[in-house]
Structure 1
């Protein structure tokens, strides 16, 4: 049975991603900052009749928590097939470039960028023991510099001085990591679930968590001939779903 670690998986898109992967036969390690919240999420999954799930306490903004999670997972498995870097924070809105507190930007980057890199590097050894390792970095359409420069883009006026740039940086890291692992079995991609109705945006998004999770699952379960080093988005309307950087 293939294994997957999903950070920020106790609710919303992360939870639905866990649910869908369990139904596909994966054993899910449900990353959560609070084990109590993780256990509540697992209870819900059990109510769906889904059993192949365990909670792993991990706060990706805290290096010691990431190390502890790696030790805990290492006691359970010797290889990890999929890492889904889903956990992230917004930093609150609005985020006006000329007035935003620089400490807010640092906090957002500490989680969305540096925290995600730390998780990836810490669990990379387990992923290297998989025959078909996959990494999905959950990003945002607000990370696309090309779209942000296009006045015809539907979200052109939605600018953020911390959240969007943190995901732009994560996209850049995704490209570099994918290139490093290009001649290996790894597939590493950035995936935007689209503007989805969740707690993250006070349920303002038009998309559903089911559709958001589905695109993450798609790139978490790629075959050996699948793409790597790409940016995909549910908000792209053509069948390729490939977003400009």
Structure 2
């Protein structure tokens, strides 16, 4: 694969899962021009303000970082519209993005999704795959459209779910296979060497998060075990 150093990226993501992909792009010398994450939340007994893993890391790296309460906020949109990017990459951001954001990059706005779309669209695909006893899952790179996880597929890879595997194991695999798949997809798009595969809405299933269950945070961040807490970069 040709060197993608200097390709300009805008990144949308929030939990630890997202951070693995952001760090990977950074390590591969893609130029992270800005990061957008969910606003800081209050958690714990003292209700202390806690930054998302993505926001915390990007601020440490002195990357322009935004945490708008609404993606329709005009001041926010004006700021990112003044930052030129080749791609926007969305990984477990936590909200749908609008057309102004989707159409902003030179090439495409793309999403990393932790399932074999159109199966398990939504916020908790790994949890649903486990609960339903799926024997395989995978990673999908898709073009972002306004409808939830329904855009055309650019790239996809699958792997088996072993009987003894838990959520953290599956997330480890998604990161392992998803990182190079994302880079390969960016390269293919940049070279106009790719095809879209339209998703079938009739075959789609949905993985909604259950806010009442502690272990079903969006994109399964509380499912992740210590092996996922990558301290590198």
Normalised by the length of structure 1, the TM-score is 0.49
Task: Work out the CA distance in 1 between the residues paired with 2:186 and 2:18.
Answer: 13
Change (3 A) 1:80 1:170: same
For residues 179-232 of structure 1, the C-alpha deviation after alignment (integer angstroms, 9 at most, x for no partner) is xxxxxxxxx736579799xxxx8525251634332222221232424213238x
On the 8 A contact 1:189/1:230 being kept in 2, the answer is yes
Residue 123 (structure 1) aligned with residue 118 (structure 2): no
Kept in 1, the 8 Å contact 2:154–2:197? The answer is yes
The answer (yes or no) to whether the contact 2:17–2:92 under 8 Å persists in 1 is no
Shift of 1:81: 0.4
Matching residue of 1:203: 168
CA–CA separation in structure 1 for the residues paired with 2:160 and 2:77: 31
Q: How many residues align?
A: 159
How far apart are 1:82 and its partner, in Å? Answer: 0.6
Deviation per CA, 1:56-109, whole angstroms, max 9, x where unpaired?
2245xx3435x443222134x2x32011122355xxxxxxxxxxxxxxxxxxxx
Q: Does 1:42 align with 2:58?
A: yes
Pairing partner for 2:180 from 214, 232, 235: 214
Whether 1:13 and 2:20 are equivalent positions in the alignment is no
How has the CA–CA distance of structure 1 residues 16 and 23 changed in structure 2, closer, same or farther, with 3 Å as cutoff?
Answer: same
Which segments of 5 or more consecutive residues in structure 2 lack a partner in the other structure?
1-5, 41-50, 120-128, 135-144, 205-233
Aligned partner of residue 228 in structure 1, secondary structure: coil
Whether the aligned pair in 2 keeps the contact of 1:138 and 1:192 (CA below 8 Å) is no
Q: Per the alignment, do residues 211 and 23 of structure 1 end up closer, same or farther by CA in structure 2, a change over 3 Å counting?
A: same
CA RMSD of aligned residues (A): 4.2
Q: What is the aligned counterpart of 1:227 among 175, 191, 194?
A: 194
Asked if 1:64 corresponds to 2:30, the answer is no
CA distance in 2, matches of 1:64, 1:142: 30
CA distance in 1, matches of 2:23, 2:108: 18
Query: Secondary structure of 1:126's partner?
Result: coil
Distance 1:210 1:140, change over 3 A: closer
8 A Cα contact 1:85 1:136, kept in partner: yes
Structure 1: distance between partners of 2:118 and 2:102: 26
Distance 1:193 1:85 in 2: 20
Verify the 8 A CA contact 2:116 2:158 in the aligned structure 1.
no
Point out where structure 1 has 5 or more consecutive residues left out of the alignment: 90-110, 146-153, 160-166, 176-187, 232-243
